[in-house]
C-alpha cells in the first residue's frame, strides 16, 4: 500500500492549517497499526518519520510514548551484555529511532534500560576474583570504546549519557589504580544518604532554635 503521507503531504504548502482536523484520526490509525509492531521491523520508522514535522511536539511525544518507547524499552530489556560474544541487534533497532525520538527521551530510555545492566557487567568483569583470570584492561578499554562509538555525538553530549559513561570510566580508573571497584550506583546512594543526613541535621537545628526561642520568650514574660 502507498503510505498516506505520500499523497497528503504535497497538499500542506497550499492548505496548511486547514488539514489539521485530519491529524487526530491519522494518529489513531497509526497507533492501531503499531499495536503488533516489533522494533526489529524497520517499516514503522519509515511509516512514522515523515510525520514528525507535521504533528505538534506534544502530539508527537504522545504517539512515541504510547506506541514506540515502551517497545524500544522492551527490546533493550532483551539485550544480553556479553563481552565474549556480543549481539548488537537490539541496540541498533533502538538507536535507529534517534532521528524521530528527541535526544532527551532517547537518553532517558538508555539511562533506564541500557546502562544499568551494561554497568553491572563491566563491574563484574573488572571485579573478577581467582580462579577467574584478571581482566585485560586493554580489552576492557576496547570494549568500552566500541560501545561508545555506537552513540551519536548528540547523545554523547547529553548529560544523562555522559553521567553513565563517567561511571564506567571511574570503575576502569579504579581497576588501573588497583583499588576496589565501586559498584555502579554506589556514589549516587552515598550522595543521597549525605543529602538525607544534611536534611535531618537541618531539621534538628531548626527545632533547637525554635525551642530556644520559645524558652527565651517564656523567661522574658516571667
Q: State the Cα–Cα distance between residues 222 and 219, nearest whole angstrom.
A: 5
| pLDDT mean across residues, the chain | 81
Percent of the chain with pLDDT over 70: 73
Mean pLDDT to the nearest integer, 190-205: 43
* pTM more than 0.85: no
Given a cut of 50, whether residue 110 has pLDDT beyond it is: yes
Q: Name the burial class of residue 182, with classes exposed (0-12), middle (13-18) and buried (19+) by CB atoms within 10 angstroms of its CB.
A: middle
> How confident is the model at residue 50, as a pLDDT?
85
State the Cα–Cα distance between residues 222 and 218, nearest whole angstrom. Answer: 6
Q: Say if residues 96 and 48 touch (Cβ distance below 8 Å).
A: no
When computed from its CA atoms, the radius of gyration of the chain, rounded to whole angstroms, is 26
Predicted confidence band of residue 171 (pLDDT cuts 50, 70, 90): very high
Amino acid at each position: 500500500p502507498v503510505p498516506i503521507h505520500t499523497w497528503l503531504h504535497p497538499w500542506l504548502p497550499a492548505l496548511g492549517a486547514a488539514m489539521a482536523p485530519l491529524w487526530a484520526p491519522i494518529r489513531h490509525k497509526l497507533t492501531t497499526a503499531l499495536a503488533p509492531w516489533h522494533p526489529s521491523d524497520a517499516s514503522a520508522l519509515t511509516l512514522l518519520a515523515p510525520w514528525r514535522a507535521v504533528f505538534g511536539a506534544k502530539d508527537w511525544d504522545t504517539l512515541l510514548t504510547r506506541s514506540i518507547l515502551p517497545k524500544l524499552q522492551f527490546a533493550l530489556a532483551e539485550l544480553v551484555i556479553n563481552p565474549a560474544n556480543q549481539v548488537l541487534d537490539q541496540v541498533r533497532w533502538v538507536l535507529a529511532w534517534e532521528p524521530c525520538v528527541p535526544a532527551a527521551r532517547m537518553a532517558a530510555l538508555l539511562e533506564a534500560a541500557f546502562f544499568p545492566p551494561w554497568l553491572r557487567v563491566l563491574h563484574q568483569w573488572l571485579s573478577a576474583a581467582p580462579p577467574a583470570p584478571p581482566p585485560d584492561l586493554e580489552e576492557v578499554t576496547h570494549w568500552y570504546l566500541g560501545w561508545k562509538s555506537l552513540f551519536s555525538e548528540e547523545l554523547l553530549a547529553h548529560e544523562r549519557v555522559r553521567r553513565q559513561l563517567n561511571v564506567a570510566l571511574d570503575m576502569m580508573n579504579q581497576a588501573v589504580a588497583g583499588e576496589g571497584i565501586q559498584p555502579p550506583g554506589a556514589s549516587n546512594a552515598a550522595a543521597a544518604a549525605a543529602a538525607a543526613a544534611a536534611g535531618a541535621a537541618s531539621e534538628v537545628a531548626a527545632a533547637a532554635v525554635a525551642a530556644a526561642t520559645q524558652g527565651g520568650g517564656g523567661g522574658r514574660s516571667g
